[in-house]
Chains A and B, each alone.
Chain A
């Protein structure tokens, strides 16, 4: 069974319409396997995605495009306690996670 999600990339287009991530430090809350991450991270200065699901993060890391490996990081965490210093990010994206 194959499920195709958002074949027209309306999610990515809408996100870019709402916010300009160019050269910004972006935090993605609930990044999962990185499906959304890859739609914007290339334009960011740095993207950190976190998720409590270790298996999903393993897929995200494995799927990381080589060109983005210097600017994308994935960490295992929950939003209840984000292991990051205060006032670090320009943009935070709650990705299907609130």
Chain B
């Protein structure tokens, strides 16, 4: 990761801006939402690989900063929603695509399914992913 940051530093003009934009693990919430509002069914479980990846990424950018390549400008967080029509579609996606870093417990799946079944006809399900964004200026 640090070598990649060195390469980015090389191709940036002096004073150029580096933006780090990525999801970070934080037991993302599972929600049922409709025109009537939204309800939180519970939270996914972070798996060790995802947590370790986050830690490594923050360590790499911190190292690049301490090496004098970049100076931090600002950072922030925002939500990024993954939306599905049904709880079963959501579960299938999570099991297939996020198997290494997020897990949906059976209890959570049942709770989401129950909320979805009793909600308005336009109800759908979503996962609120926590996103991190930071900007650095090339020194």
Chain A interface residues toward B at CB < 8 A: 1-8, 10-11, 14-15, 18-19, 27, 29, 36, 78-82, 84-98
Docked pose: A84 CA to B78 CA in angstroms: 32
Q: Are A87 and B81 in contact (CB under 8 A)?
A: no
Closest to A15 in B: B21
Confirm or deny: B42 has a beta carbon within 8 angstroms of a beta carbon on chain A. no
Chain B: interface size category? 35 or more
Docked pose: A81 CA to B92 CA in angstroms: 36
In the assembled complex, the CB of B124 is this many whole angstroms from the nearest CB of chain A, namely 9
Residues from chain B with Cβ under 8 Å of A15 in the complex:
19, 21, 133
Q: Are A1 and B89 in contact (CB under 8 A)?
A: yes
Chain B interface residues toward A at CB < 8 A: 1, 3-5, 7-8, 10-14, 16-23, 57, 60-61, 74, 76, 78-85, 89, 92-93, 131, 133, 135
Contact among A14, A80, A87 for B12, CB-based, below 8 A: A87
What are 20 A-to-B residue pairs whose CB atoms are below 8 Å? A2-B85, A3-B82, A3-B84, A6-B80, A7-B81, A7-B83, A11-B80, A18-B76, A18-B135, A19-B17, A29-B8, A82-B7, A87-B14, A90-B13, A90-B16, A91-B12, A92-B17, A94-B8, A94-B18, A96-B22
